[in-house]
Structures are given as C-alpha cells and as structure tokens.
Structure 1
C-alpha cells in the first residue's frame, strides 16, 4: 500500500505545481479529448512486483493497453521453409521462362538465317550452275575454264545450296527433321502425343 500513497502524493504535487505555473502554461492545461486522464490510467498500471525489463525500467510503469499484441501477430507466421520453397519455385519458373524465351529467340534466329541463305541460293542458282558446268567442261581451253572458276569463287558463300539445311520450324534443329511435317523428331513426337498433327495418332508414327 506504500506505493499507492507515493503515487497519490506525486499526483497531487504535480497537480499543484501545474496550477501555480505561469498563465502561458495554463493555455495547455486542458489535455486533448483523445488522451485519457491520469486517474483513468491509474487502474491500468501493473504491480511493482514484476522484474526489470530489457532496458532496465520497471515494467509496472508500462500501461496494460500498450502490452496488447497487434492483430497481425495473432496469425500463424509462414514457416521459413515454406517461404524458401515458394521463392525457389518462383525463381525456377522465372529461369525456365527466360530459358524458353532464349531458346525461342535462338530458333527464330537460326530459321531467319537459313531463310536468307535460301533466298540467296535461289537468286544465284542459275549463275552458279552455269559457271560450274563451264569450269568442269574438259573440251574448253584451260584459260577459259580458269576464268569461270574464278567467277564461281567470287560468288557469295551463302549462295551455295550446301549452306542450306532443312531445319525444324519450331526448334531450329538441323538434324533428324521430317520433311513432310518440317519438324524434328522430338517436336514431332510431342505434337503427335498431344494430337496436334492431322492423320497421326499417338504411338503410331
């Protein structure tokens, strides 16, 4: 009961000093409406029998209202393992999307390069065949044959059909390509399994 008398004496002393203060301070004598008064908070103080807190202050001087936990703390926190798995799955999905985008870009680049070579080979096809025939003709003189051989060597390198490969239009793969479907064996089997090819059944190729 001694601490209650000390608390009441300190309250009375502070009230008297507040009343005898200067008139400028009396303008702020009335507390705001939202702030609770001291007698109302007196019942909310805890006892002095509690130990010291982490900062060395008495926990009894902390109002009980401030000890309430927020609503967010009442929910069950997500475990760290679940957070790690979610972040790992998101990163894997992002990496897979990036790799797919890169693979598509590479396939498109290869197909575009092959298409340009086909156009160039079609443009110089007759000229190349003519120069090649005249160069390999044994009935012509040596100087004339060397002349056409030199002309043949001056043609663009990509104008030869040996530089053109039948590539898959989906993946750009140059080997094991079915000419009828213009797709590689891997893409062909995946499309056949999905039923995306007309006249081709699953496990029937």
Structure 2
C-alpha cells in the first residue's frame, strides 16, 4: 500500500510540475510577443538607432511567420530615419577603431560623438559601445600606463614628466598607439619650448 501511495504522489507531483511548467511557458511566450510589440512600437516612435537595434534583434529571433514579417516591415519603413549620415559616421568610427586598435581613433571618436548630431539614445549607445570595445581592443596594460604618463605630462609640463612618458611609450607594443602617443609627446615638448 505504501509503494502505491508513494508512486501515486510522485505521479501527481510530476503532473502538477508539468502543468506549472506549461503555464510558465505560455506566460513567457505571451510576454515575448508583448515585449516585441512594445520594442517595435518604441523603435517606430523614437526612430533611434538604439531602439531600432533592440527591436530588430528581438524580432529576428522570432519564428518565421506573419507576425515576424509584419514587425520587419514596420522596422524597414523607418530605416531611412534611423540610419542617418551621423549614425553611419559613428558606426564607421567604431569599426575603424576595432580594425586598427587605434587609441587615436578612440580619442577622436569620443570627441566626435559629442559634436555630431545624434539623438540622445544613440549618443549614449555609441559612447557605451565605444568604451566596451576599447576595453578589449585598445586599453592594454602597456597602453594604459603610457596614456597615464602622457596625461601627467600634459597636466604638469616638465622635462621629468616628459621623460617618464617617453619611457612608458617605448613599452607600448602596438605601433599605431606608440606613434600616436609619440605625437602627443612632441606637442607637449613644443608647448614647453613656447613657454621658455
């Protein structure tokens, strides 16, 4: 009798857990559609690169069908408003930085993003994307030490600081970044001479 009761209880628990799992799956499926709809509506309303990408990346994960095609048509209709000259320029700067691992392009892009006419969402997105990618492509320990030394030399323009910066720059492995920081040191030396 105990075996039967134990087996019956385990079967009941399995059925109940299956039903709970099924209900959770239905709830999640409903929310995915709701979230997708909200994301697409937000993208159409804001017409920002950031909101467009969020919506597009969500829609692309949906199974093929009428709903997915409907979402893609809505997103396609705003492409011209989203992919502006400024957005393309920002994307191009990030791509160039990643291809070359150039600190100079990173610095230029940081300045440029504040100058070009980007929507606030897009400006924040591009700054964070640039910073995220720079952590793996630019900010190596040797480059970071050299940048700090060059920054110190800019702040306190002394021969001692310039010498320290030059020593750190010599240790930078990537030539493009070594050249960039060497250019910066040359500018500092020129300023020092102008003051004398």
Shared topology, TM-score over 0.5? Answer: no
Q: Which has the higher contact order (CA 8 A, sep 6+)?
A: 2
Rg larger in 1 or in 2? 1
More helix by share: 2
TM-score, normalised to structure 2's length? Answer: 0.30
